[in-house]
Amino acid sequence: MDNFIVSARKYRPATFDMVVGQSAITSTLKNAIRNNMLAQAFLFTGPRGVGKTTCARILAKTINCLNPTPEMEACDQCESCVSFRQSASFNIHELDAASNNSVDDIRNLVDQVRIPPQVGKYKIYIIDEVHMLSAAAFNAFLKTLEEPPSYAKFILATTEKHKIIPTILSRCQIYDFKRITVEDIKKYLLYVAGQEGVNAEPEALDIIAQKADGALRDALSLFDQMVSFSGDSITYKNVIKNLNVLDYEYYFRVTDHLLHGMSSETLLLLNEIIDKGFDGQHFLNGLGSHFRNLLLSSDIATVQLLDLSPQLISQYEAQASACPPDFLLNALQLITQCDLNYARSSNKRLLLEVTLLQICSQSNSDDLPVKATEASLAPLTKPGQQAKTSPTNSATTHPTPTSKAGQPTTPISRTATKPDMGQIAEEPEADYQKAGPKKTVRPAPSPSGKSSARTISISASEKPEAHKEDEPVEETEFTQESLQKVWTQFAEQYENTSPSFASVVSKCEPQLKENYEIHFDVPNHIVFNDKINVNALIDFLRKHLANSHISLHPHIVDTVIQNTPYLDSEKFQLMVERQPSLRLLVDELGLEPDL
């Protein structure tokens, strides 16, 4: 049996043109060779499997080639190229910093740098995983890296650039390698499959490319794994089965169920996914990525951010057209919150199911406001009849009642319109004078069954009474004594529901003025900012004094507390004035205060 060579080694690029997905870096390196502008040190950084070490070897091979091509590629025929291909070159040295990271290793390397090359122009040192060097090794390497011999070149490679000390970074030309796109990996896998005589479906290679996460070496390893599993034919079903990948169709089906509020079907599909052996968090993360792709697909400007195949992008665009952006944003917020709580949850499946049900409810709740609005705007008259409304505000007109003195009074106007909560919230602060005699009308409940405005209650046990349509406005005379009595009764009844407000009211001294205006002083405006309590006070006074013209006029009095300094003797004298028994106690015990 022939020795098997993995595809990552067998199809490793040997020239700059064969490098996949790093055209900007390879073009820069070839121009530097052509113009003889090579730096003394290079730093190749980037994620795993994107070609850092491969480009370092190609660069070392090319700059030592005796007969480079016009495109600045190695000829692969000269003595230097042949010795490099056979791993017998004395001018190109590779050092693994993960296992040679001590100061002694770097000192040995510095000693080797002093020996000039025997064949070729340069002596090249490739140090892989350079971030593994110790701090002492870095410091020992600084001087040589800054001023090496003219024939010495250093190529450093790392996946963790942030772990390299700044003094090393400042001495190198830095090349940042990017992740390889799904489309580039897919094309290269098609090339490898053709070379190996493997029949691979494009959808299967697309899954492998996405699973590799931008690393071509990982993609080739997965390709070898699939060839071992399915032989010379790689199908989409075999790939998702062997690589434990959840089919995209599941995410599209789950999204359809969530979008239409089909909670039962969603839970059944989740159970099917879990029964196939997929982890709940794996599904959760995949669903979050799916919603993110839908959100990007909803705008032409952001579709280019999707690193997917054209066929899959078209499928995303079709489903994104049916998904409201608000639904996707709310779903992403719920999924993010579930992902944060998943690790510490004792019942992970329940947490996942509740999250999906919440997303379903988000889609269902979008229809509720429309239905409620239609119900609230439905005509109250029978079909064929026309509702009689006034020309101004559609209010029901009642006969003008008269008082005992025979003077006409202003009627109560009750509108059928819903109160505007915005206007209620924007009432002027501490302005409780009513424009004209009227009573507080409690709003009727909304069609949804909930009150559309805050209900004013006098006490916890008392319920508001329904107003009659023909109830006249009351205007009974009352005195200052009766006002003070009712005022005190209100404070006593309000001690259980709002003690702070009742305490302020009990300390106020109401003064009856003309037109039934009640003036009083309050120490601050904080308590009287509560519209519920103040309106309850107005209702209580109007009810128990039988007068609808009562209005409140509080005056804010800023009390300035002055702190007077006292001597110890003065403090003792004030204490004796408040508690005369203190002097008796001192005299009986024969004590003398230390004053």
Q: What is the mean pLDDT of residues 283-302?
A: 88
Burial (Cβ within 10 Å: 0-12, 13-18, ≥19) of residue 562: exposed
CA distance 478 to 491: 19
- Specify whether the CB–CB gap between 120 and 91 falls below 8 A: yes
Q: Which amino acid does the sequence have at 510?
A: P
Residue, of 367 and 482, whose pLDDT is higher = 482
- Which range (9-18, 27-36, 43-52, 467-476) has the least confidence? 467-476
Domain 432-442+455-462+472-556: which CATH number of 3.60.150.10, 2.40.50.100, 3.40.50.2300, 3.30.300.180: 3.30.300.180
Q: What is the mean pLDDT of residues 458-482?
A: 59
User: Using a CB cutoff of 8 Å and minimum separation of 24, what contacts does 465-472 make?
Assistant: 467/414, 467/439, 467/441, 467/442, 469/396, 469/398, 469/414, 470/398, 471/412, 472/401, 472/409
**Tell me, which fold does domain 248-366 have in CATH?**
Zinc Finger, Delta Prime; domain 3 (1.20.272)
pLDDT bin (cut points 50, 70, 90) of residue 407 is very low
- Which range (9-13, 277-281, 329-333, 391-395) has the least confidence? 391-395
The answer on pLDDT for 17 being more than 80 is yes
> Phi, psi (5° rounding) for residue 427?
-65, 145
| pLDDT value at residue 6 | 86
pLDDT, tens digit, 9 for 90 and up, residues 518-540: 888 876 655 555 555 677 788 88
Highest mean pLDDT among 496-500, 502-506, 549-553, 567-571: 549-553
Residue, of 186 and 506, whose pLDDT is higher = 186
User: Could you confirm whether domain 182-242 is CATH 1.10.8.60?
Assistant: yes
Phi-psi region of 436 (alpha: psi -120 to 50; beta: other; left: phi over 0): left
The answer on pLDDT for 442 being more than 60 is no
The angle at the Cα of 165, spanning 162 to 170, to the nearest 5 degrees, equals 100
Residue, of 306 and 25, whose pLDDT is higher = 25
| pLDDT value at residue 157 | 92
| pLDDT value at residue 392 | 38
Residue, of 398 and 537, whose pLDDT is higher = 537
pLDDT bin (cut points 50, 70, 90) of residue 273 is confident
| pLDDT value at residue 408 | 44
Q: What is the mean pLDDT of residues 188-216?
A: 87
- Which range (158-172, 325-339, 422-436) has the least confidence? 422-436
Residue, of 460 and 185, whose pLDDT is higher = 185
CA distance 322 to 299: 13
**DSSP letter assigned to residue 483:** H
The answer on pLDDT for 438 being more than 70 is no
3-state secondary structure of 21: coil
**Tell me, which fold does domain 7-176 have in CATH?**
Rossmann fold (3.40.50)
Residue, of 473 and 364, whose pLDDT is higher = 473
Q: Which residues of 337-372 are buried (b: 16+ CB within 10 A; e: fewer)?
A: ebeeebeeeeebeebbbebbbbbbebbeeeeeeeee
| pLDDT value at residue 561 | 58
| pLDDT value at residue 42 | 92
How far does the chain reach from its first CA to its final CA, in angstroms? 110
- Specify whether the CB–CB gap between 47 and 179 falls below 8 A: yes
- What mean pLDDT, rounded, does the chain reach? 76
| pLDDT value at residue 528 | 58
CA distance 538 to 548: 9
| pLDDT value at residue 524 | 62
Q: What is the mean pLDDT of residues 120-148?
A: 87
Of 502, 510, 507, the residue nearest 479 (C-alpha)? 510
pLDDT, tens digit, 9 for 90 and up, residues 542-587: 888 888 888 888 887 765 556 677 787 888 888 888 888 888 888 8
* Helix 202-212, helix 216-230: angle, nearest 10: 130
pLDDT bin (cut points 50, 70, 90) of residue 174 is very high
Q: Where are the domains of the chain?
A: 7-176, 182-242, 248-366, 432-442+455-462+472-556, 562-595
- Which range (210-224, 304-318, 368-382, 422-436) has the least confidence? 368-382
| pLDDT value at residue 45 | 92
The answer on pLDDT for 265 being more than 70 is yes
pLDDT, tens digit, 9 for 90 and up, residues 40-75: 899 999 988 888 999 999 998 898 888 888 888 888
Phi-psi region of 164 (alpha: psi -120 to 50; beta: other; left: phi over 0): beta
**DSSP letter assigned to residue 67:** S
| pLDDT value at residue 403 | 42
The answer on pLDDT for 441 being more than 50 is no
| pLDDT value at residue 11 | 86
| pLDDT value at residue 530 | 56
| pLDDT value at residue 434 | 42
| pLDDT value at residue 458 | 33
